[in-house]
Copies of this chain bind each other. A is one copy, B any other.
């Protein structure tokens, strides 16, 4: 469960510059412990300083995602959520019908994920992606 300084160090090690904006953004999503939209992250930063732009928030979040320090996931309604891998690998099951999101943690699925990784030689740590389907409620209410 890496601390926000670990994230910053990793960025620095990768040759990226550490700016006040990046520090604040990393601090916020590392300590939040849940998923946040770019808009939410910006509001949190705004509580500390007015010197922040939404484009910078998106760019920083993308940077974290590209370097494996955070994950992006599409909620399926035009919104995107971001989170660090701090609370461990997990999958989001997003219901295509009602939009409900169910979170599944690593211990439940490690076998499946390991298999995907072994087979495809694809580094996806922290595992964090979304699967869109129908939740039990929606399926029961409207069977095929």
Contact = CB atoms under 8 A, between A and B. Distances in A.
Interface of A: 14, 65-66, 68, 71-72, 74, 76, 91, 93, 96-97, 102, 104, 108-109, 111-113, 115-116, 119-125, 127, 129-136, 139, 142, 144
Nearest to A93: B122
A133 B72 CA distance: 11
Q: Is the interface of A mostly helix, strand, loop or mixed?
A: mixed
A109 B116 CA distance: 7
A96 to B, nearest CB: 5
Contacts of A72: 76, 132
Contacts of A134: 68, 122-124
